[in-house]
Structure 1
C-alpha cells in the first residue's frame, strides 16, 4: 500500500514538473520588449532546421528550432553572429513559428554562447503587420524612450511618476500599436502618438 502511494505521489510530482515548464509571459508594450532585448532587427527567414541538442542552459531539455536569417536592418545588438535565431520547438517552450521567405521584426536575447534567441515572450512580428508607429518606434522612438518606464495599470485612477507612462487595459490595442513612451526635454515621459 505504501509503495502504491509513493509511486502515485512520484508520478504526480513528475507531472507537475512538466506543467511548470509551460510558457507564461506577462503582457508588455513593444517598447518594453525592445528596450529589454539584447538585439532587435528586421530580417527575412531563409530556412528552418530542427536542432536536437540544447543550445544553452535555459532550454531545460526542449529541442530547438534554428531559423537561418538574412538581416535587413539591425536596430540594436551585436554586429556578429547574425545568421540565425533559435526558438523553442513548441509553444510550451515559448517557441514561435516563423515562415520562410517572410520579413519579420525580431527581438530577443543573446545567450552565453552567443546564440540569438526569440520567443513568445518577446516582440516578434511580421514586418508588414507592424503599424507605421511601431516601425518608426523600432527605428527611433523606442530606443530614445528606454529611460522611461511603462507601467501597466489595471484600474483607474492610476498614480504615476515623472519618468513613467501608464498603460491601462482600456487603451491596450491603441497604445500597443500607435503610441511610444518618449522622454521629453525636461526628463519627464509621455505617450507620443505616431502616424496611424
Structure 2
C-alpha cells in the first residue's frame, strides 16, 4: 500500500531526527585525568597551530573519499613521542565524529595529546586531552616532564557516584567530579598518581618529583 504524502513527510522527518541524534551521539568521551591521557597517548606535544586545510584520506568501503582536516603546527616541545618534530596533525572534519577545532592564528599555544599511525602521522579527536597551554597549572606543566610517566603503571579510576573505592592497590581514586562538581578540579590540576616502592600507587602533590621517603612510605 503506497504511503500518503503525510506519511512520506513523517518518515522523512523521523529519518532526519534519527540522523541528527545519531550524529549528536556519535562522539561520546568519558572524562580522563590529564595523567591518564598522557599515559594513553602515543604523542604529547606543546605547539602552535599555524595553518589548516581539508585533505583526502583514502576512500571508505563504498569508494567515497574520506575527508580530514590537516593542521599545520609549530612544535615547541615534545613530552612524549617519536624522535622527530611533529609538523602536521590530522582530525575528522566535524565535531559530531570527534573532529577537533583549533585556533590557527599561531597566537595560542596548546598542549596536544593524540595517537600516531603506522606512518608516524599524529591524529587527534575530542576524546584526546587538548588544552590551551595557559589553562594548565604549574604542577601540570612540570608533571609532563617529571611525574606523569612515573605513574603510567598505575590506574586512575574515576568515581562515578558516592560512595566509591578502589579495587586494587595499583589504583588512585579520582573524585573531582563527585566532590567538586567539575571534571578538572584539584586532583586533575595538582596531583599525580605515582607508583611507590611497595608496588602500590598513591596521589602525590607538588611540583618537584616525589622524594624517596614518599616512594618508600607505607601510607600516603
Q: What's the TM-score, normalizing by structure 1? A: 0.83
Q: 1:165 to 1:61 in 2, by over 3 A?
A: farther
* CA distance in 2: counterparts of 1:112 and 1:16, whole angstroms: 35
Question: 1:44: which partner in 2?
Answer: 48
Q: Who is 2:27 aligned against?
A: 23
Counterpart Cα distance in 2 of 1:17 and 1:142: 40
Report the CA distance between 1:13 and its aligned residue. Answer: 6.3
Aligned residue number for residue 178 of structure 1: 190
Give the superposition deviation at 1:111.
Answer: 2.5
Q: Conserved in 2, the CA contact under 8 Å of 1:56 and 1:113?
A: no
The 3-state SS of whatever aligns with 2:53 is strand
Aligned to 2:83, which of 79, 83, 104?
Answer: 79
Unaligned runs of 5+ in 2: 208-220
Q: Which runs of 5+ in 1 are unaligned?
A: none
Is the CA contact (8 Å cut-off) linking 2:58 and 2:65 kept in structure 1?
A: no
Aligned pairs (5 A) from 1:50-129: 50-51=54-55, 53-54=56-57, 63-80=67-84, 82-99=86-103, 100-101=105-106, 102-129=108-135
Residues 54 and 194 (structure 1 numbering): CA distance in 2 closer, same or farther, change over 3 Å? same
- Are the structure 2 counterparts of residues 180 and 56 from structure 1 closer, same or farther at C-alpha, using a change threshold of 3 Å? farther
C-alpha separation in 1, matches of 2:91 and 2:111: 15
CA drift at 1:63: 3.0
C-alpha RMSD over aligned residues: 2.7
Which SS does the other structure have where 1:82 is aligned?
coil
Of structures 1 and 2, the larger Rg is shown by: 2
1:167, CA displacement in angstroms?
Answer: 1.0
- 2:57 is paired with a residue whose SS is coil
CA pair 113-10 structure 1, distance change in 2 beyond 3 A: farther
Partner of 1:143, secondary structure, is helix
